[in-house]
Structure 1
Amino acid sequence: MVSPAIRRAVAKKLRANTTPHERILWRALKELPIEGTHFRRQAPIGPYVVDFFCPAKRLIVELDGGHHNEDATAQRDNERQAWLEKEGYRVIRFWNSDVTGDLNAVMERVYAEVHGALDADALPLRRHRRG
């Protein structure tokens, strides 16, 4: 298993080198109603680094480019997603073209995953301080 220090360094490097599609989605995620929707980007979870992560809802948002259509990459994505779901996380995936083509639909899906429905009120997030 890769050490936590290495995973954090990889995540930091990925945050510094985001794609244009990731930047668009990140700006949109930051504009969600704050209650319960704090997202982290390029967050290390277990042996992986995920694109976007909402810890309060254990929700992972993955953004995939065209190379994710390749058989080997798709297989790794499936194994990764299975591991994350086995650990209790929910994973939703979008294509880069979804972000550029219909960002509103992407954000509606994220909102529904976080709050349970599009017409649901955002509930206050209870923050837990680390000791």
Structure 2
Amino acid sequence: MARRLRRDMSLPEVLIWQRLKGKQTGLKFRKQHPFGAHVIDFCCLENRLAIEVGGEAHNRGDRPARDERRDAFLGENGWHLLHVAAARILKDPDAAIDAITAFAARPLHHSPEEANGPPPRAGEDQK
């Protein structure tokens, strides 16, 4: 499945991958990476960062429930998750990459609504 997804990426995924591949951001990313029973759109193994591109298809059928299970599984396994809206990527792919690289640099120090995770532990925000 991951192999097929690598070949059949959506336009927002292609735009992101063009900017993430080859360590252009200073980080090594993989595309359509299998993790457990799930496939992560993009990930940085070094930072345990998963990036999910969310388009309209994620709001249909059983996708919301599947996405919730995937997100919970990633969190339970120590991964930081960043959701990026496909519309945001299409509007300004460079700004989306800037947000991704900023998040990758310090994933625990973003607001919970940005990070989709808990706030920093006491004292961590002062480092």
TM-score (ref. length: structure 1): 0.73
**Paired-residue identity, %:** 29
Match of 1:28 in 2: 19
Q: Which runs of 5+ in 1 are unaligned?
A: 1-9, 118-131
Match of 1:13 in 2: 4
1:17-75 alpha-carbon deviations (Å, 9 max, x no partner):
111111101011126332xx100000001111110010000000001110212363212
Give, in whole Å, the separation in 2 of the partners of 1:74 and 1:103: 24
Aligned length: 106
Q: Which runs of 5+ in 2 are unaligned?
A: 108-127
Read off the aligned partner of 1:15 and give its amino acid letter. Answer: R
The list of structure 1 runs, each at least 4 consecutive aligned residues, that deviate by more than 6 angstroms after superposition, is: none
Q: Contact between 2:58 and 2:64, CA under 8 Å: does it hold in 1?
A: yes
Q: Over aligned residues, Cα RMSD in angstroms?
A: 1.7
TM-score (ref. length: structure 2): 0.75
**Which of the numbers 74, 77, 93 marks the counterpart of 1:103?**
93
